Amino acid sequence: PLATLNDPSLLKTDALIGGEWITGNARFDITDPATGEKLADVANCGPVDCHNAIVAAERAWGPWRAKTAKERAAVMMKWFALLNQHADDLARIMTAEQGKPLAEARGEVVYGASFIEWFAEEARRIYGETIPSTDQNKRYLVIKQPIGVCAAITPWNFPIAMITRKVAPALAAGCPVIIKPAEATPLSALAVAELAQRAGMPAGVLNIISADADNSIEIGKVLCSSDIIRHLSFTGSTEVGRILMRQCASSIKKLSLELGGNAPFIVFDDADLDAAVEGAMQSKYRNAGQTCVCANRIYAQAGIYERFVARLSEKTQALKVGNGFEPGVTQGPLIDLAAIDKVERHVADAVAKGARIVVGGQKIGERFYAPTVLAEVTSEMLCAKEETFGPVAPVFRFDSEADAIAAANATEFGLASYFYSRDVGRIFRVGEALEYGMVGINTGLISTAEVPFGGVKQSGLGREGGRQGIEDYVEVKYLCFGDI
Ligand code: ADP
C-alpha cells in the first residue's frame, strides 16, 4: 500500500535526533493490521539514543526560546501548510500502519494539522499580568516562560493528532520536544517529522525516537527520571499512566495525562431519535471503536429503548467492514489480535450474563470484528466497567434521570460523556451532574483544536487544545519590584 505515495521521500524509517536521521543499532518491523504483512522496518531506539535526544533538545532550547513567538509561529505555520499539502500521502501511510479507513485517516491529518495552526496563533497570546500592589513601594508582575525540554509518549489510535496536540503547544511556548511514538505507528510520526524538517524546524527542537514495545519501557524510564526533561505528556492507558506518574516522582516532573475513558451515551425519552442514533453511530464506530471518547456504554430510557435499539442495529448492519484502502469501507481492522481478543471476551461475558446480540457478535477473518449491538446489557457485565475499544455498542435500559446519572458516574473514569434530550432544564441538570471533563449534548462529535480536551478522575490530568492547552508548557514567574 505504500508503493503509491506521491512523495516517496515521506516514508522515513529512521529516528530523528538533533536534526539527523539515525538508523539505530537495531530495527523493528511495522505491520499492516489489515493483513499482518510487514510494511517496513524502523529504527529501534534505546536508552543511549534517548540520552542523545535529551542532549540535543537541551542544546536547542536556548535558541528556540530566544526566538520571538512570531518567529516560532512562522515555522509552525509552514509545517501546518505542508501537512495539509501532503494530506493524501500522510493518510495512506496512516491507513497502512493503523488500519483506519482512508477518508478517516485524511480527516485525522487535517484535524492533527489544525492543532499546529491553533497553537501557532496562540503563541503570541501567552500573556502575563500585573497585580495591584498592597505596598506603595512595590510592584507585582507575573510572566510566563517555557517550562523546558518536554517529552511526549503517544498512542497508535491517532498516530498524528496525538502528537501535534502535544508538540504544537510545547513548540509555541518555546520548548523543544522528544517524541516516543507508539510502536505500532511510527511511520506517521516520522513523516510528520520530515515535514517539520522541511518547514525549517531547527535541529534538536523536534526529535522522534521510535522504539518497539520493550525499548519503549526502557526509554520511558530514561525520560521520566531525567532532570533535563521538565514535562511529560502521555496519552494511553490508565495503567501505563500510573507507571509513568510513579516514575516521574523522582524528578517532580510536571505531567499531562490523557488516559482511558468509559464514555456513557445517554438517550432520554424526549430525545430526537434520529439525531441520537446518528450521534451514537459517530461516537461509537469512529476508528472501529478505538478512541478514548467512543461511546462505551449506551443508556436508553425505557420509553425509547426498543425503537433506539432497532434503529441503531439497522444502521450498524449497514456499516462496511474491510481494508481501509477499499472505497466505501467504514470499519477497518482492529489494531492487533489482542484487541480482537478483548472484544470477544467482552461480548462472550455479556452474552453469558444475559445480553442479547442484535447484530454482529463475531470476528470476520482474523483481524476484523463485525460491528455489534448488544441489548439488555447490565452493570455486572465487563463492558460496563472496562473500555471495550472495539466496534461493540452495548445498550443499557434505565428509568429515571437520576438512575441514568448515577449509572453514568459509577466509574473511576471521567473523560467524555454524551446525552440527548430536548428539555432545556434537563440539559442543564444533566450537563452539570455528569462527572466528566467533556459533555456532548445532542452531538456525538466534540473534538476540535479550539476547546480544552481532557478528563477528570482517573482519566487524567491537564487539558489539550484550547487556550488552556498551552498552560502545561509554561511556568508562571512572579517578579516583585521593590524600592519604587
Ligand atoms: P494503548 O492501550 O493505547 O496501546 P498504552 O498505554 O499501552 O496504550 O501505550 C501508549 C504508549 O505508551 C505507547 O507509545 C507505548 O509504547 C507506551 N508505553 C507503554 N508502556 C510503557 C511504559 N511502561 N513506559 C513508557 N511508555 C510505555
223, 226, 240: residue to mutate for ligand 1 pocket, most atoms within 8 A of CB: 240
List all residues 6 or more positions away from 299 whose beta carbon is below 8 Å from its beta carbon.
264, 265, 266, 267, 395, 396, 397, 398, 404, 407, 408
CB environment 330-349: b (16+ within 10 A), e (fewer): bbbbbbeeebbebbbebbeb
Tally the residues of the chain. Answer: 484
**Cell digits for 68?**
520571538
Give pLDDT tens digits for 314-361: 999 999 999 999 999 999 999 999 999 999 999 999 999 999 999 999
3-state secondary structure of 211: coil
Please list, in sequence order, all residues whose beta carbon lies within 8 angstroms of the beta carbon of residue 370, skipping any fewer than 6 positions away.
321, 359, 360, 361, 362, 363, 364, 391
CB 442 within 8 A of CB 418: no
Q: Report whether pLDDT(1) > 90.
A: no
Q: What whole-number distance in Å separates Cα of residue 168 and Cα of residue 179?
A: 12
Q: Which atom of ligand 1 has the smallest separation from the CA of 241?
A: 6
Distance 95 CA to ligand 1 centre (A): 20
Tell me the pLDDT tens digit for each residue of 142-192.
999 999 999 999 999 999 999 999 999 999 999 999 999 999 999 999 999
pLDDT tens column, 223-244: 999 999 999 999 999 999 999 9
Q: Hey, how many other C-beta atoms are within 10 angstroms of the C-beta on 68? A: 11
Residue for grid cell 450498524: 316
CB of 436 within 8 A of CB of 419? no
Kindly list the protein residues whose Cβ atom lies closer than 6 A to any atom of ligand 1.
Answer: 153-155, 180, 182-183, 213, 216-217, 220, 236-237, 240, 243
- Tell me how far the alpha carbon of residue 220 lies from the centroid of ligand 1, in angstroms: 9
Q: What is d(CA 207, CA 201) in angstroms, rounded to the nearest whole number?
A: 10
| Cβ–Cβ under 8 Å, residues 374 and 393 | yes
Residues 469, 474, 480, 481: is their CA dihedral positive or negative? Answer: negative
Which residues 6+ apart lie within 8 Å of 310 measured at CB? none
CA 170–ligand 1 middle distance (angstroms): 21
C-alpha cell at position 431:
450537563
What is the residue with the minimal CA distance to atom 8 of ligand 1? 236
For residue 260, which atom of ligand 1 is closest to its CA?
A: 2
Q: pLDDT band at 421, cuts 50/70/90?
A: very high
Active site residues: 258
Residue to substitute in 98, 153, 229, 387 for testing ligand 1 pocket (most ligand atoms within 8 angstroms of CB)? 153
Ligand 1 midpoint to CA 182 (Å): 7
Mention every residue, 6+ apart, whose C-beta is less than 8 A from residue 98: 33, 105, 156, 157, 159, 184, 185, 188, 332, 335
CA angle 290, 395, 236 (to 5 degrees): 25
Burial of residue 364, with CB atoms counted within 10 A of its CB: 0-12 exposed, 13-18 middle, 19 or more buried: middle
Closest residue to atom 15 of ligand 1, CA basis: 182
Whole-model pTM: value is: 0.98
CA-nearest residue, atom 22 of ligand 1: 217
Please give the average per-residue pLDDT across 248-274, as a whole number.
98
Which atom of ligand 1 approaches the CA of 235 most closely? 10
Nearest-CA residue for atom 1 of ligand 1: 236
Going by pLDDT thresholds of 50, 70 and 90, the confidence category of residue 454 is very high
Contact between 191 and 10 under an 8 Å Cβ cutoff? The reply is: yes
Ligand 1 center from residue 484 Cα (angstroms): 53
The per-residue pLDDT for range 267-297, each reduced to its tens digit, is 999 999 999 999 999 999 999 999 999 999 9
Ligand 1 atom with least separation from CA of 181? 14
**Average pLDDT of the residues in 187-201:** 98
- 216 CA → ligand 1 middle, Å: 7
Contact criterion met (CB below 8 Å) for 152 and 202: no
Asked if 309 contacts 358 with a C-beta cutoff of 8 angstroms, the reply is yes
Per residue in 202-217, is it b (16+ CB within 10 Å) or e — as a string?
bbbbbbbbbbbeebbe
| CA distance linking residue 311 with residue 397, whole number of Å | 15
Atom of ligand 1 nearest to the CA of 153: 14
Burial degree of 328 (CB within 10 A; 0-12, 13-18, 19+): exposed
Q: Compute, in angstroms, the gap from residue 137 CA to the centroid of ligand 1.
A: 53
Containing 382, the helix (H) or strand (E) segment is helix 382-385
- Percent of the chain exceeding pLDDT 70 equals 100
Nearest CA to ligand 1 atom 14: 182
Per the prediction, the chain carries an average pLDDT of 98
